[in-house]
Amino acid sequence: MTAKPSTAIEVLDDLDRAIINRLQLPLPIEPRPFAAVGLELGCSEAELIARTKTLLETAALTRFGPFIDAEALGGAFCLCAMAVPAERFDAVVEIVNGFEEVAHNYERDHALNMWFVLATDDPGTIARVAQRIEDATGCEVLLFPKEREYFIGFKVAA
């Protein structure tokens, strides 16, 4: 477990960091958005575009595009957790991951050791899928729906 940490951060300069921080905030919806953001950051439109391409190619950024709110489209998400007996863990993983509504699933070090996200086309389906998972696994599914989001984003130390 002494894997060498990623070196991407070491080759980022101040402008790269400023770009990473700024691009997590909304892009202006106007014909030349990168020119407008470049003005904020003190770099040219062409340089901002070139650097953003590099940040995507080196995977410092995973994506640059619209963030869709599936809930606004009628879809629903719910964080769920289960306390899965250790001896049944692998079998339960297989069952839970087999549900196409399970988007992410993490093992965590807690009595509630399995945490997954359900993504469905409508809110009513969440409870039904959770019930089907309970029936299939014999483990209680606790639902932790988002009640409020406090979002600002993640910043790279400048």
Partner 1 sequence: MNALSAQDRDLILATQAGLPLCAEPFAAVAMTMGTSEQDVLSRFQTLIGSGVIRRIAAAPNHYKLGMIANGMSVWDVDDAAVDKLGQIIGELDFVSHCYRRPRALPLWPYNLFAMLHGTSRAEVEDKRTQVAQILGSACRASDILYSKRILKKTGVRLSKRGD
Q: What part of residues 14-33 is at the interface with partner 1 (CB under 8 A)? A: 20, 23-27, 29-33
Burial degree of 19 (CB within 10 A; 0-12, 13-18, 19+): buried
> Binder to partner 1 among 36, 41, 47, 105 (CB under 8 A)?
105
> Could you say whether residue 132 binds partner 1 (CB under 8 A)?
no
Please provide residue 117's backbone torsions phi and psi, each rounded to the nearest 5 degrees.
-115, 125
Smallest gap, in angstroms, from Cβ of residue 5 to partner 1?
Answer: 6
> Could you say whether residue 65 binds partner 1 (CB under 8 A)?
yes
Please provide residue 82's backbone torsions phi and psi, each rounded to the nearest 5 degrees.
-135, 150
> Could you say whether residue 116 binds partner 1 (CB under 8 A)?
yes
Among 7, 24, 4, 56, smallest CA distance to 156 is for 24
> Binder to partner 1 among 1, 13, 68, 87 (CB under 8 A)?
68
Residues touching partner 1: how many (CB under 8 A)?
81
Task: Rank residues 29 and 87 by Cβ distance to partner 1 and give the closer one.
Answer: 29
Give 24-30 contacts, CB < 8 A, sequence gap 24+. Answer: 24/153, 24/154, 24/155, 25/153
Smallest gap, in angstroms, from Cβ of residue 154 to partner 1?
Answer: 4
CB 76 within 8 A of CB 123: yes
Smallest gap, in angstroms, from Cβ of residue 90 to partner 1?
Answer: 10
